[in-house]
Amino acid sequence: MNDLGSPDRLTETRAALAEAMALHEQGDLEGAELGYRSVLAQGYRAAEVLPLLAGLLGRLSRPEDALAAWDQLLAIEPDHKVALHEQGLTLHWLGRTAEAIATLERACAIDPDNPIAIGNLAVVLADAGRNLEAIRYFRRALALQPDNLHLRHQVRRLGSGSVPFWHIPMMNDAPRNDAFEAAIKAAIGAAGPEARVLDIGAGSGLLSLMAARAGAQKVVACEMEPMIAEMAQQIVVQNGYGDRIKVHAKSSTELAVGAELDAPADILVSEILSSDLLTEKVLDTFEDAHRRLLAPDAVVIPRAASAIGCLVASQNLADYAFVGDVSGFDLSAFTAFAPQRLPIHGTMTAWDRLSEDLELVRLDLTQKKHDATLARLCIPVTASGRAIGIVQWMHIDLWQGVSFDNHPDRYTDGGWLQVLHSFPEPIEVVAGETLDIAVGHDRITLILLPLTESRP
C-alpha cells in the first residue's frame, strides 16, 4: 500500500528518486532501474519517472520492457508526444512495422511541427516499402528544417531509388522521341482531335504531352509506379495540358471503361518495351488493353517490335559469361549461374560479329492474343571464332514509314541497351558453316539456345 501521505515516506521516496537518477547518470543502469521501480511502486511522479525508466531499458537493449514502460505512461497520458514517438521507434526496432507506423502517425498528428518525429515516420514507411508516403513525410520534415542535409539527402535517395535509372537517358533519346511523336501526330491527324487516346506507362507523361500537342482533346494515362505518376501529373500541369491529360496512378490492368475511360480508346500509345522486348510484360499488357480498353479497330503505337541479333565472339564479354580455372582451382561449375541476358553498351564493348543481322522474334502488337513460341533458326556463320552468344537489339515499327532501332553500330546512350544472350558454353564456329539455335519466347523472356553440341 502506497503511503506517500506520511512526510517521512515522501522524503524517503524523493531521496530514492534522486539516488536512482544519480546512478543513471553514473552509468549504473541496473541499479537505477531498481531505484526507479521502487519509486514507481510508491506511485511517486510516475509521469516523470516512466520516461527515465523506459529510456534506460532501451539502453539496456530490453525493447519489450521499454515498451511496457511507455505503455504505462500512455495509460496515464494517452497523448504523451515523447512516449508515442519513442514507442514508435521501439516497435520499429522490434520489427512490428504496422504498429510502429500507426504509433508514429499518432505522434506526428499530435506534434505536427516536429521534424524529427516526421522524419522517423518517413524512415519507417520507407523501410516498409511505402516510398510515396515516405517521400511526402521527408518533404514535410524538410519544409520544417530546410537546412537539414540528412533530410535533403533522404528526399533525393528515395526519389532516385524508386525510379529506374534508365528513365532520364530514355527521355533524352531524341531519335526515339521523334519517332514516337511522328507516329502519334500521324495517328491523331488521321483519326481527328476527338480520338480518345490511352497512354499506358506514362513515365514523365511525355507521350501523353505529345498526343495533346498533336491536338488530342482527351488523353487518359496510367503509370503504375505512384511516385512517377504523381510527377507525371505535375509535369502535365506545368506544361499547360492539365485540362486534357489525366494521369492515373494505376496499372493498366486496374483501368476500366466506365471508370477512368468513358469509352474504349481509339489510339493506344505505350512504350513499355524493355531492351529484350518482353520483360516489362508488354504482351500481357497489350492483350489486356485489346480485350478491355480499346475499340476493336484501335490504332496501336507501336504496332510491332522485333528482336534482331547476330552471333558474336568477345573475350571481354566471355569474362562475364563463363568461368573456368581461377587461382589454380576449377570453378567452371559456377558458369551454371552466369547471366542468361547481360545488358551491354554495344558501341562501348569490344565484340566481333560472326554472322549477319537476323530477325530473332517479331511481335505483332495489333494481335489480340500471343502464344509462347519456339522455332529452329539456322544461322549462317560469316567469320570463324569462339561464339559466346547473341548480341540482340530491337526494331520498333510505329506507323507506316516510322520506325526506330537501337542497332549497336550507331545507337549509344539512349534508354535502351543491347543485350548479350550468352550461350551455356562457348562454341567454336567456322565461316561457311551454320549454327542452329532454338529461338522464341515464353511471353516474358526471349529464348535463345544453341542446338549444336559444343566442339572442343
Ligand X SMILES: C[S@@+](CC[C@H](N)C(=O)[O-])C[C@H]1O[C@@H](n2cnc3c(N)ncnc32)[C@H](O)[C@@H]1O
Q: Which residues in this chain contact ligand X in the complex, by CB under 6 A? A: 170-171, 200-204, 206-207, 222-225, 228, 251-252, 271-272, 280, 285
Least distance (Å) between residue 306 CB and ligand X: 18
Beta bridge partners, 404, equal: 396
Give 258: exposed, middle or buried? Use CB within 10 Å, 0-12, 13-18, 19+.
exposed
Nearest distance from C-beta of residue 442 to ligand X, angstroms: 18
Q: Which is nearer to ligand X, 16 or 221 (CB)?
A: 221
Closer CB to ligand X, residue 205 or residue 450?
A: 205
Taken in order 157, 320, 437, 430, the sign of the CA dihedral is positive
Cα distances from 180 to residues 15, 280, 285, 381, 401, in angstroms, run 80, 18, 19, 35, 12
- CB 390, min distance to ligand X, A: 23
How far apart, in whole angstroms, are the C-alpha atoms of residue 88 and residue 105? 9
As measured in angstroms, the least distance from the Cβ of 228 to ligand X is 5
The letter for the amino acid at 439 is V
CB of 127 to ligand X, least distance (A): 22
C-alpha cell at 297: 479497330
Kindly calculate the radius of gyration of the chain based on its CA atoms and give it in whole angstroms: 32
Closest CA to 255 of 220, 217, 286, 231: 220
Residue number, 90 or 285, with CB nearest to ligand X? 285
Q: How far apart are CA 374 and CA 446, in angstroms?
A: 10
Q: What is the Cα–Cα distance from 319 to 420, expressed in whole angstroms?
A: 12
Q: Which residue lies nearer to ligand X by CB, 73 or 235?
A: 235
Nearer to ligand X, 108 or 300 (CB): 300
Q: How far apart are CA 285 and CA 272, in angstroms?
A: 9
**Least distance to ligand X, CB of residue 223, Å:** 5
> What angle do the packed helices 226-238 and 206-213 form, to 10 degrees?
30
Alpha carbon distance 384, 433 (integer Å): 9
Minimum distance between the CB of residue 55 and ligand X, rounded to whole angstroms?
A: 44
Cα 80 from Cα 78, distance rounded (Å)? 6
Comparison of 207 and 312: residue with beta carbon closer to ligand X: 207
Nearer residue to ligand X within complex by CB, 219 or 379: 219
Least separation in angstroms between CB 250 and ligand X: 7
Question: In angstroms, what is the minimal distance from the CB of 156 to ligand X?
Answer: 19
Q: What is the DSSP string of 74-143?
A: HHH-TT-HHHHHHHHHHHHHTT-HHHHHHHHHHHHHHSTT-HHHHHHHHHHHHHTT-HHHHHHHHHHHHH
121 vs 202, beta carbon nearer ligand X: 202
Judged by CB, which is closer to ligand X: 302, or 389? 302
Instruction: State whether residue 60 is helix, strand or coil.
Output: coil
